[in-house]
């Protein structure tokens, strides 16, 4: 079964990578936190935290993976944030490769690696790493249920790109 025609594989790889960078990999709603609720929307390169009814917290805050790791230092969920930073780094490499591929397709395709398979592998690896971060969030005492929305997209995009018939 062919999911994508080979002549469209490069465009799909670039667009899939850019979409993956824009979709939140994790959304978590936690209630009962300091008398209120908190919604975390974690994108690959930043998170947005919305606090509802928490008197000591800013209503909305934004942080990048490294700042979030530093903020969670010494906490049980610090490992989840460290794994998130690794997943974001892998995806950042994919975004750089996709930008180069978009900018100079012929040059990138003449290189030693198939860029479609490379991007597929990077997206799949990022999905696996961020799935690990989701697991750690769920098992390290973080209140709420993390929904791995973007993880599903990363794994799906990676799988499709890795199985494209490149003729």
**Within a domain: 121:** yes
- pLDDT at residue 1 is higher than 50: no
Domain of residue 19 covers: 6-23+65-140+150-162
**40 within some domain:** no
Is 106 inside any structural domain? yes
Nearest in space to 39 (alpha carbons), one of 138, 144, 132, 135: 144
Q: Is 138 exposed, middle or buried (0-12, 13-18, 19+ CB in 10 A)?
A: middle
- Average of per-residue pLDDT across 155-164: 93
Please identify which residue in the block is written with the tokens 């791995």: 148
pLDDT in tens, 58-82: 788 899 999 988 988 888 889 999 9
In a domain, 34, yes or no: no
- 32 in any annotated domain: no
For the chain, report the end-to-end CA distance as a whole number of angstroms. 14
- Is 38 contained in some domain? no
Provide the Cα torsion 154, 156, 161, 167; round to 10°: 180
Is residue 102 situated within a structural domain?
yes
- Look at the chain and report how many structural domains it folds into: 1
**pTM of the shown model:** 0.90
- Has residue 33 been placed in a domain? no
pLDDT higher than threshold 90 for residue 35: no
13 has pLDDT over 80? yes
């Amino acid at each position: 079964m062919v999911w994508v025609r080979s002549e469209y594989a490069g465009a799909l790889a670039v667009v899939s990578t850019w979409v993956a960078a824009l979709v939140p990999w994790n959304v978590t709603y936690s209630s009962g936190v300091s008398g209120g609720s908190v919604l975390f929307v974690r994108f690959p390169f930043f998170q947005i935290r919305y606090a509802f009814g928490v008197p000591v917290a800013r209503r909305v805050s934004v942080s990048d993976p490294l700042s979030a790791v530093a903020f969670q230092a010494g906490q049980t969920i610090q490992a989840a944030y460290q794994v998130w930073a690794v997943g974001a780094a892998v995806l950042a490499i994919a975004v750089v490769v996709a930008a180069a591929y978009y900018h100079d397709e012929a040059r990138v395709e003449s290189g030693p690696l198939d860029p479609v398979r490379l991007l597929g592998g990077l997206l799949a690896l990022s999905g696996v790493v961020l799935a690990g971060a989701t697991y750690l969030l769920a098992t390290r005492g973080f209140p709420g249920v993390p929904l791995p929305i973007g993880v599903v997209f990363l794994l799906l995009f990676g799988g499709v790109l890795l199985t494209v018939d490149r003729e």
